[in-house]
Amino acid sequence: MLKVLLSKPVTLAQFPARLAVGHLLRRALEEGELSRAELLRQVERFSGVAVLRPDGCLAWVRSGKTQQRVAPVEWRDGGFRAHGFELGRFYDGRTGVYRLLDDALREVDGRPLADVHDDADYVGRTLDGAEAAFVKLALSVGHFLTYPLDSLAALKNLPAGVAALIASSPEYFERFRYMTRGEQIQVVSELATNLVLTTGTATATTRTVTGALAGADATVPVLALSAQGALTFERVAAPVGRAAAVLGGGPGAVIILQRASTTAQGAGPSRGPGRWGPAKESMKPPARRYQEQISGHSADDAYWVGGMSSQAGGVKFDGFKDGVLLEAKGPGYAKFFDELEPKEWFLHSGAKDLVKQADRQIRAVRGQGLRIEWHVAEAKAAAAIRALLHEAGVEGVKVLHTPAL
């Protein structure tokens, strides 16, 4: 069924229903074949459920009718968003306000996001279906695709799922790299729309395929991109140990297999000074997304040098890629500084910890000819951290401003 859906263009009118169908198919991948009675029960649960469309409007899943406009959709904090709403998520609107639902269609936290109100220009409108959904996403894509992308490294500016798809098909990338910016925007918009409909998200994290990702039949659902740009879907025997971009979670997670030449980032000591292992720390969603943006790896893991934990003498980095040890400092550090100086309350706590962390990392790889880069999401924070390390006499860490996508 997913193969059939991927071959069909989707319009704005069809978008809410197609999103629900993708949700049901992912559930079937996780739990196995659904009976007719169970399928009808699941469909009934979408009554009073709305979604954000790529044109920035909220529409009802069951009827497809437009309820109200929110705002233009933008790529922000790792998702396509309009104010508090995100493309690919479901919202309960039965009580007069919209509340976010999880993958099981249960309320996440009960927090109201907006009132359900009648918009004279939009309420009850049924679209004629003539306009493709990806067309409305193109404006958002154009904001971060500001020049033609002609290298694999440049793909890092795209949503991670889209970048993984394009990078997984060398034949298609050869076509993509010679497209005009306008053509690339159209391609990225189409791929992002199809990923949202198929998997519920356009983002992905890099993981090593394990048995936990496989279903009961030891297979995994794999998305791939043909040389002509067509999305294909099939279940294959779980390639345990292979690196993959994972969209979603659990046994129903869809994966994009990475090319063998791009999997070195998860390798062991022969490929670098350390090994990937559990990070054993929690972080807020923006920090997590930023770390995964910088490292290209799941934030559940860290890159350990000298041991697999602090207790074992190990020093933690957020990533290791292309011979560079990486550290990510996500959104929020700017508030700890006044211009370039740490605020008084931060000076003797967090600021000292940053200096100690940098010194610890430098000592861990001294004499190995390796670079250390700290990527900081905010320009003000990057300048302040750079000054802090310089004043402390810590040399050997390159501090870079890398905006969050």
Kindly state the average pLDDT of the residues 144-167.
78
Say if residue 29's pLDDT is above 80: no
Domain positions in the chain are 2-132, 135-262, 264-401
Lowest mean pLDDT among 85-89, 209-213, 225-229, 397-401: 209-213
**Does pLDDT of 260 surpass 50?**
no
**Dihedral (C-alpha) 41, 46, 48, 49: value to the nearest 10 degrees?**
160
Whether residue 26 is predicted with pLDDT greater than 50 in this model: the reply is yes
Residues 347-365, mean pLDDT to the nearest whole number: 93
Which of 17-26, 55-64, 214-223 is the least confident region? 214-223
Is residue 164 over pLDDT 60? Answer: yes
Stretch 233-255: mean pLDDT: 65
Put residue 394 in one of left, alpha, beta given phi > 0 → left and psi -120 to 50 → alpha. beta
SS3 362: helix
Confidence bin at 223 (pLDDT 50/70/90) = confident
- Whether the pLDDT of residue 250 is over 70: the answer is no
Regarding pTM above 0.95, the answer is no
pLDDT for the residue 7 = 67
pLDDT attached to residue 133: 65
pLDDT 10s digits, 31-58:
667 788 888 888 999 999 999 999 889 9
d(CA 50, CA 65): 10
Query: 299: which 2 tokens?
Result: 């934030």
Residue 199, pLDDT > 60, answer: yes
So what's the pLDDT on residue 212?
A: 57
- The pairs formed by 92-96 with CB atoms below 8 angstroms and a separation of 24 or more are 92/48, 92/49, 92/50, 93/48, 93/49, 93/50, 93/58, 93/60, 93/67, 94/47, 94/48
**Tens digits of per-residue pLDDT, 279-322?**
878 888 889 889 988 988 888 888 999 888 888 889 999 999 88
Q: What pLDDT, on the 0 to 100 scale, is given for residue 269?
A: 36
C-beta separation of 222 from 231 below 8 A: no
Return the pLDDT at 238: 57
Coil, strand, or helix at residue 170? helix
What percent of the chain shows pLDDT beyond 90?
28
* Degrees, nearest 5: CA angle 234-31-108: 105
Report whether pLDDT(111) > 80.
yes
pLDDT at 356 over 70: yes
Nearest to 394 by CA among 351, 333, 346: 351
**Confidence band (pLDDT; 50, 70, 90) for 126?**
very low
- What is the DSSP pairing of strand 66-69 with strand 57-60? antiparallel
What does the pLDDT read at residue 346?
92
Dist. CA 266–CA 306, nearest whole Å: 16
Q: Which residue has the higher pLDDT, 273 or 214?
A: 273
Q: Please give the residue that has the higher pLDDT: either 63 or 158.
A: 63
Considering the chain, what is the average pLDDT of its residues? Answer: 81
The neighbour count for residue 87, using CB atoms within 10 Å, is 27
Q: What's 405's DSSP letter?
A: -
Tokens 């000076």 sit on residue: 347
Calpha distance 150→357 (Å, rounded)? 36
Q: CA-to-CA distance for 218 and 20, rounded, in angstroms?
A: 26
